[in-house]
Amino acid sequence: MYAETGALLRTELAALLKMHRVQGPLRNVDSAPAEQERTGHLIRRYRQSVLIWCTQSAISARPLAFSNLTKRPSNPFLLAAADEPLVSELVRALEHTRAASTTPLASLAELTTPHPNDLVEHWRHAARAAALAEHDTGPDLHGRLSTPESLALLGDVAAVTQALVVLDQRYRNTPGWQPLASSQRLGWSALACALDVGLGQPDYSVDQAGWQPRVKAIRGPVRPGILGVLQAEHNVLVRLKAFPNVLNLRRIVDSQHLLSPALARLAAPVAPEVADAWTDRGETYGLVQKQLRDLGGNLGAGAHAAAEAANAVSRLRHVPHDDVLEPRTISAFQMLFHRTDDRICDVIEEGVRRGAFVQRVTVPRLVDNTHQMVHPVRERFVVVADPRELAVVTTARERLRPTATSGSPSYSDRTRAELQAALVHRPPPRQRSVPDAAQL
């Protein structure tokens, strides 16, 4: 996940920027000049990995990164020139620097083998994080990014590029060092991009992009109090990976209908807005539960998800009514609710599309063989021709499906602020030793 790889990359670069005197630590490797030159070549290979990540990430963010600068009024007597965003200049500068570099990439053994020198070890961790981040922010990401997320990614690229330019000037006396081509152009382009991104509103939910570990059910003993409800709700979301049938889907929907207003009362003293949203969520699930009565079908499973949903409701009944939810618990439930809503919407639409959920219709005939005084109307189940005709599909799309801005707010990672502070870091002044009176 980019949240982990990006934070590691920024942390290691911030640590390197705080090391102002690098020749002393490099000489600690070995006194032989040949060994120092090999160390310089190794750091260059690590730097090349970071440079390639900057180039690929900037290319991924370029299609949706627009400039936030105020445009000047055009002259009606001159041909209008195409306004090009600053990210294009940064991409050109990065590609030029990468093409001019003759340094190969670090091998897998060099990325995974620890180095005895602390300075080289920081470079190794930075290159390893950049190599892993290539899979999180690769070329396939631009199709799933929004403009604010592209700005956040571009801001990270600009800060890392500035760090490479500063370190390049600091390592120019290292044996075997090759300076970056057109470093001034690269540094000014990165600075202009960083200032342009600062004028907008970046969306740091891009940290959730990339590979994520597989989510598993929380086993073991039941957590006490509200944590037990949170445990069961998490397991409901995990068990919903298996497609449920209509009966189990009704049970899961009924559990969400009961959970939301009950948790809203516990969250009202801390977060009234969240409590109102959860109350509306409970009403929406009550409507979905009524509309699901017109659907039938035996295809699917979902027994484990329905059991976990029942556990969540039963555990919530044992929570004291005067209990107050903590902000972290509210954020956890908010995240689980959004993901559960999204999954239930997918289940409803997928079940209708593939014919696993069929619609109940009445036939203009009576059942006269029930041996009852009142004859019921004959009913049949038919495949839905157009999903838009179903009320439950419309409710799921319009009221249950989370919108792009309804998720939990995204916050900037603290490593971004640490890297910005390290870019302007200055070494502490040397303290002159005052001679003693005996020495005088």
CA dist 438 and 424 (Å) reads 42
- List Cβ neighbours of 409 (8 Å cut-off, separation of 6 or more): none
- The residue-averaged pLDDT of 29-51 equals 81
Higher pLDDT, 215 or 160: 160
Nearest by Cα to 273 from 315, 355, 330, 318? 330
Model confidence at 6: pLDDT above 50: yes
Identify residue 280 by its one-letter amino acid code.
D
- The residue-averaged pLDDT of 313-338 equals 90
Model confidence at 406: pLDDT above 50: no
Give me the sign of the Cα torsion angle 85, 91, 92, 93: positive
Average pLDDT, the chain: 82
Model confidence at 68: pLDDT above 70: no
- List Cβ neighbours of 73 (8 Å cut-off, separation of 6 or more): none
What pLDDT sits at residue 405?
Answer: 45
Give me the sign of the Cα torsion angle 134, 140, 145, 150: positive
Nearest by Cα to 297 from 348, 350, 360, 246? 246
Token code pair at residue 207: 């940290």
Distance of CA 35 to the CA centre of its chain: 42
CA dist 19 and 14 (Å) reads 9
Token code pair at residue 68: 């936030």
Model confidence at 404: pLDDT above 60: no
- Torsions phi, psi for 379 (to 5 deg): -125, 150
Least confident interval from 33-37, 61-65, 154-158, 321-325: 61-65
- Torsions phi, psi for 303 (to 5 deg): -70, -40
- Torsions phi, psi for 295 (to 5 deg): -115, 150
Nearest by Cα to 190 from 161, 216, 219, 148? 161
- The helix/strand/coil state of 408 is coil
- The residue-averaged pLDDT of 224-245 equals 92
- List Cβ neighbours of 62 (8 Å cut-off, separation of 6 or more): 85, 87, 88, 91, 142, 150
- The helix/strand/coil state of 289 is helix
Question: Residue 405, exposed/middle/buried by CB under 10 A (0-12, 13-18, 19+)?
Answer: exposed
Would you list the DSSP string of 293-332?
A: GGEE----B-HHHHHHHHHHHHHHHTS-TT----HHHHHH
What pLDDT sits at residue 137?
Answer: 81
Token code pair at residue 53: 């990540």
CA dist 201 and 197 (Å) reads 8
- List Cβ neighbours of 301 (8 Å cut-off, separation of 6 or more): 242, 243, 244, 245, 248
What pLDDT sits at residue 407?
Answer: 45
CA dist 357 and 350 (Å) reads 9
CA dist 184 and 179 (Å) reads 11
Tens of pLDDT along 123-143? Answer: 899 999 999 888 888 777 666
Percent of the chain scoring above 90 in pLDDT: 27
- List Cβ neighbours of 173 (8 Å cut-off, separation of 6 or more): 23
Give me the sign of the Cα torsion angle 361, 365, 369, 374: positive
CA dist 220 and 109 (Å) reads 39
Tens of pLDDT along 385-401? Answer: 777 778 888 888 888 88
- The helix/strand/coil state of 269 is coil
Strand partners, 358: 296
Tens of pLDDT along 266-283? Answer: 999 888 999 999 999 999
Tens of pLDDT along 48-60? Answer: 999 998 998 888 8
Residue 380's H or E segment, with its range, is strand 377-382
Looking up tokens 């005939």 gives 365
Tens of pLDDT along 295-306? Answer: 888 888 999 999
Is the CB of residue 393 less than 8 Å from the CB of residue 187?
A: no
Report the chain's C-alpha Rg in angstroms.
Answer: 30
- Torsions phi, psi for 90 (to 5 deg): -65, -40
Token code pair at residue 400: 């249950």
Is the CB of residue 11 less than 8 Å from the CB of residue 420?
A: no
Higher pLDDT, 87 or 364: 87
